């Protein structure tokens, strides 16, 4: 399958999407590909001059090899770290998927691969009737799911996988990221996910490990890099 890039989704917020997205950008850049990162919607930012900057979006920008206008990298950015649709309402802004698609197409014209990182989980609302999965479908990207390995991850991962299938999206693979150093029965949880998720495990990250420890062979084969 050929694709312009990949969408990094998470089983929840704070599960390591940015770590995985940045690692993938760096890995593809080392292979000589022109790579761009994108965070379509971000909530939680600090003011840099006259521009609100989200640290996840900045990490993607730093890992990319394509320099692009900030408004393409992060079309929507809101200061408070709250649900994006609420932050947008408070700012008097309506998130428009067409604006996100236009920015993505600008990046696609300049890059061999684009790594797009979601906000929160796959079904996080963006407006009253649009969620992040709708954006994934609009951009027509395969999904890599970052599973935050902690108590409760099995249901979160399986429900997200069901949502991916129900929306007709492509499930390219998943990453197990240990975010709880005290999690019990990690191996048993991983074994169940490997049996039940209809996509290959791209890698497993130990607690505190760098994303560079991932083995991207499966995903590279998917993209025929």
Q: Who contacts 50 (Cβ-Cβ below 8 Å, separation ≥6)? A: none
Q: Exposure pattern of 132-156 as b/e (b: 16+ CB <10 Å)?
A: bbbbbeebebbbbbbbbbbeebbeb
End-to-end CA separation in angstroms for the chain: 11
Helix, strand, or coil (residue 117): strand
Q: Is 39 a catalytic residue?
A: yes
Residues contacting residue 154 through CB under 8 Å, at least 6 positions apart? 189, 192, 193
Q: Which of 17, 39, 85, 156 is catalytic?
A: 39
Catalytic positions, written as ranges: 39
């Amino acid at each position: 399958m050929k694709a312009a890039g990949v969408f990094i989704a998470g089983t929840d917020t704070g599960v390591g999407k940015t770590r995985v997205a940045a690692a993938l950008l760096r890995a593809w850049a080392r292979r000589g590909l022109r790579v761009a990162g994108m965070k379509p919607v971000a909530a939680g930012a600090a003011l840099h001059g006259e521009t609100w900057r989200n640290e996840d979006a900045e990490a993607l920008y730093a890992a990319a090899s394509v320099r692009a206008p900030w408004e393409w990298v992060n079309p929507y950015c809101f200061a408070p770290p709250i649900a994006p649709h609420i932050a947008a309402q408070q700012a008097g802004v309506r998130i428009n998927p067409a604006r996100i698609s236009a920015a993505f197409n600008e990046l696609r014209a300049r890059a061999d691969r684009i790594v797009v990182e979601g906000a929160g989980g796959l079904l996080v609302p963006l407006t009253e009737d649009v969620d992040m999965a709708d954006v994934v479908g609009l951009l027509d990207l395969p999904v890599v799911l970052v599973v935050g390995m902690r108590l409760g991850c099995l249901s979160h991962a399986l429900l997200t996988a069901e949502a991916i299938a129900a929306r007709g999206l492509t499930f390219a693979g998943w990453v197990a990221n240990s975010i709880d150093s005290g999690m019990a029965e990690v191996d048993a949880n991983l074994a169940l996910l490997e049996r039940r998720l209809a996509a290959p495990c791209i890698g497993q990250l130990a607690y505190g490990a760098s994303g560079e420890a991932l083995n991207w062979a499966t995903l590279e084969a998917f993209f025929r890099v």
